[in-house]
A and B are shown apart, each in its own frame.
Chain A
């Protein structure tokens, strides 16, 4: 080998050590070690400081759980709120009105719109355009960035109209909402959503020009599923489109183990890693997408089942279109029929005069929703005073962690000899980013009893 030969020829020894992976939520490291052409270490380490939410919930009132668990994650605050509320209602035996559920679905759609666009433009696009972040793009691609911010603003405004704000929503509580969205706000949001269609079309065009790395690894894909619609707010759990079980039996579907190098536990189905998120939902429920979303999937060349994890970003765009169209349809219904205050509006806590009179019985409640990154579970056990004695939250990023490592184990040997160490590092960073990991969420989870 000559002195000037590119190091890709000599990539029998590769060390990737990405400390504090950037452009993800939270702190994670990628550590890969190849010695003499053999992969000796391949880890995705979560090094975020643990937050102990499950411990913090113990002893708090069930009525406080939404407010507290919303703070698990700034980006999926509405999703955590909804999973928490569903678990709380399950434990308390409360059934919300259909109109409440409609508003919750709308709120969840706006969060998916918001998170997916953040991921596509701010976290993924810089890699595909060969820049280190969105900052240089503000100068070179200003109209596109302004469009991305406009799309983000639309979905963020959705949170504001429907729940007071998107980050740590105010009005969505056990039993309903503390306030109805204003007519004025709904009309403005409706207009913004209709206008966003053009931005969506433009984004699809941009995504078509991106070249994603080619990589295939079939795995197990888990998500909610629902006969009536593309499941987001509720449904049964399904793996690879079959073996449907109630979401209340989630502990029978997968199990979790603690690994030494990470603050997060790793989840497995039958001892094997699995994936959750946009691509899993698309693979399981793609036939339930609305017409527009199906045509966008076709335009982007996305077909179920898709086994390339890098294409999760495309599945997110398909879901963005789906959620936008579903939201517009729901908004049209709301604007036409109006909303019933009596059915929806509740106080966030029992009234003062009722405190002490309410009878609680010890019970366990489970709530699952599909959030941008996959299936999210909250489980609470309450005592006869309505206080939490046990809590468990299973976050999508944790479920994806084992799958990401298995992807890394397969892709690294494929890249050796073809790509430089620097290129391999970027490929792995992009792979991790494609899962849109939300590490701040994933660091407190987990029920010790699984182990």
Chain B
């Protein structure tokens, strides 16, 4: 059989903490195996080579300046496949909290009288600016999901994101429901796929994967009502990862 050329992959980062790329280094030997299937041509965090010819662009971080908008469009124009890598790229992530204050106030708070020198715009996930072909969610990305998405890409198949809540995985892991423990949790409204990572570790879900597409608002409402939680209480938690779908939820719950 004729050997296929390896696809050329470039990694790019926008506004974020670069933890997504670090997760790749944390894959250890799996990362070395991955480099046998793909050809990494651009990865600024660990490489000085700057390949401009690539098939797949894996992009982390949010769009938050005019220059970011220009750069992501250029990347999209060159890449056959664009992957939004991590919560900041996929749903704007914690960066989105910035949008809850006026840009002027945010600049003033951090840069005072030099505020006018700062170029910043409303924070956006990548798909507000360009078409995204694959999403790797989570903050930080969950390594089994990174591998699953790369497999799908290499096989030329779509990667459908789970469309059921974290509770499904959490139940399978036999965790005691946080509400039973007199705590709050975003699990009922958050898209699964992380294997209830935070709850397995004694914490609660913070919705870092963003919210379900179909909110199943009635079911979620039932849980909240059962535990005497007001809708507004939990809506406050929606803003941490600033999922654009939070607005949609607002409407669903308002009905």
A448 touches B25 (CB 8 A): no
Please, what's the 1-or-0 string for B28-40, where 1 marks a CB less than 8 Å from any CB in chain A? 1101100100001
User: A145-175: which residues lie under 8 A (CB-CB) from chain B?
Assistant: 145-146, 149-150, 152-153, 156, 163-168, 170-171, 173
Q: How far is the CB of A348 from chain B (nearest CB, A)?
A: 5
Q: A133-B47, A146-B29 are in contact. Are A75 and B19 (CB under 8 A)?
A: yes
Which single residue of chain B is at the shortest CB-CB distance from A54? B110
CA distance A327 to B35 in the complex (A): 33
CB of A134 within 8 A of chain B? yes
* B161 contacts across to A, CB distance below 8 A: none
B17 touches A72 (CB 8 A): yes
Q: A52-B110, A178-B201, A260-B117 are in contact. Are A167 and B140 (CB under 8 A)?
A: yes
B98 touches A134 (CB 8 A): no
B139 touches A168 (CB 8 A): yes
Chain A to chain B: the 9 pairs with minimum beta-carbon distance, closest first: A74-B19, A179-B202, A178-B202, A448-B112, A164-B201, A133-B47, A132-B48, A170-B201, A56-B97
A-B contact pairs, 15 of them (CB 8 A): A20-B44, A71-B139, A74-B23, A133-B47, A149-B25, A149-B29, A163-B201, A164-B200, A167-B19, A167-B23, A260-B117, A347-B183, A352-B229, A441-B17, A448-B108
Binds B, one of A22-30, A206-214, A282-290, A403-411: A22-30
* A146 contacts across to B, CB distance below 8 A: 29, 32
CB of A58 within 8 A of chain B? yes
Which single residue of chain A is at the shortest CB-CB distance from B46? A122
* 8 other A-B residue contacts (CB within 8 Å) besides A51-B64, A165-B140, A179-B202: A72-B17, A74-B17, A133-B49, A164-B200, A173-B203, A178-B203, A179-B203, A448-B110
* A122 contacts across to B, CB distance below 8 A: 25, 46
CB of A321 within 8 A of chain B? no
Which single residue of chain A is at the shortest CB-CB distance from B201? A164
Q: A49-B64, A347-B183 are in contact. Are A74 and B110 (CB under 8 A)?
A: no
CB of B184 within 8 A of chain A? yes
* B228 contacts across to A, CB distance below 8 A: 352
Which single residue of chain B is at the shortest CB-CB distance from A180? B202
A22 touches B110 (CB 8 A): no
A23 touches B46 (CB 8 A): yes
Q: How far is the CB of A178 from chain B (nearest CB, A)?
A: 3
B240 touches A153 (CB 8 A): no
* A126 contacts across to B, CB distance below 8 A: 48
A152 touches B183 (CB 8 A): no
Interface centre among B19, B40, B113 (most CB of A within 10 A): B19
* A72 contacts across to B, CB distance below 8 A: 17
A56 touches B28 (CB 8 A): no
Which of B25, B98, B200 sits near A56, CB closer than 8 Å? Answer: B98
Q: How far is the CB of A85 from chain B (nearest CB, A)?
A: 13
CB of B14 within 8 A of chain A? yes
CA distance A153 to B140 in the complex (A): 16
CB of B190 within 8 A of chain A? no
A135 touches B95 (CB 8 A): no
B19 touches A77 (CB 8 A): yes
A258 touches B112 (CB 8 A): yes
CB of A351 within 8 A of chain B? yes
A75 touches B22 (CB 8 A): yes
CA distance A58 to B182 in the complex (A): 27
A49 touches B14 (CB 8 A): yes
A51 touches B140 (CB 8 A): no
CA distance A171 to B31 in the complex (A): 26
CA distance A71 to B100 in the complex (A): 18
Which single residue of chain A is at the shortest CB-CB distance from B26? A156
Q: A52-B106, A170-B201, A179-B202 are in contact. Are A75 and B47 (CB under 8 A)?
A: no
Q: A167-B23, A168-B139, A170-B201 are in contact. Are A135 and B49 (CB under 8 A)?
A: yes
CB of B255 within 8 A of chain A? no
CB of A177 within 8 A of chain B? yes
B28 touches A351 (CB 8 A): no
CA distance A248 to B198 in the complex (A): 32
CB of A225 within 8 A of chain B? no
Which of B15, B25, B101, B112 sits near A451, CB closer than 8 Å? Answer: B112
CB of B253 within 8 A of chain A? no
CB of A263 within 8 A of chain B? yes
CA distance A40 to B43 in the complex (A): 32
* A67 contacts across to B, CB distance below 8 A: 206, 240
* B200 contacts across to A, CB distance below 8 A: 164
B140 touches A168 (CB 8 A): yes
Please, what's the 1-or-0 string for A407-431, where 1 marks a CB less than 8 Å from any CB in chain B? 0000000000000000000000000
CB of A440 within 8 A of chain B? yes
* A49 contacts across to B, CB distance below 8 A: 14-15, 64-65, 67-68, 120
User: B122-148: which residues lie under 8 A (CB-CB) from chain A?
Assistant: 139-140
A164 touches B198 (CB 8 A): yes
CA distance A168 to B120 in the complex (A): 26
Which single residue of chain A is at the shortest CB-CB distance from B14? A49
A23 touches B197 (CB 8 A): no
A351 touches B182 (CB 8 A): yes
Please, what's the 1-or-0 string for A54-66, where 1 marks a CB less than 8 Å from any CB in chain B? 1110111000100
CB of B18 within 8 A of chain A? yes
B118 touches A23 (CB 8 A): no
B183 touches A349 (CB 8 A): yes
A348 touches B19 (CB 8 A): no
Which single residue of chain A is at the shortest CB-CB distance from B121? A49
Interface centre among B35, B48, B93 (most CB of A within 10 A): B48
* A163 contacts across to B, CB distance below 8 A: 201
A153 touches B106 (CB 8 A): no
CA distance A441 to B68 in the complex (A): 18
CB of B109 within 8 A of chain A? yes
CA distance A68 to B67 in the complex (A): 26
CB of B45 within 8 A of chain A? yes
CB of B166 within 8 A of chain A? no
Which of B15, B139, B201 sits near A171, CB closer than 8 Å? Answer: B201
* A135 contacts across to B, CB distance below 8 A: 35, 40, 46-47, 49
User: B61-79: which residues lie under 8 A (CB-CB) from chain A?
Assistant: 64-65, 67-68
Which of A132, A152, A178 sits near B25, CB closer than 8 Å? Answer: A152
A171 touches B140 (CB 8 A): no
* A123 contacts across to B, CB distance below 8 A: 46
A352 touches B44 (CB 8 A): no
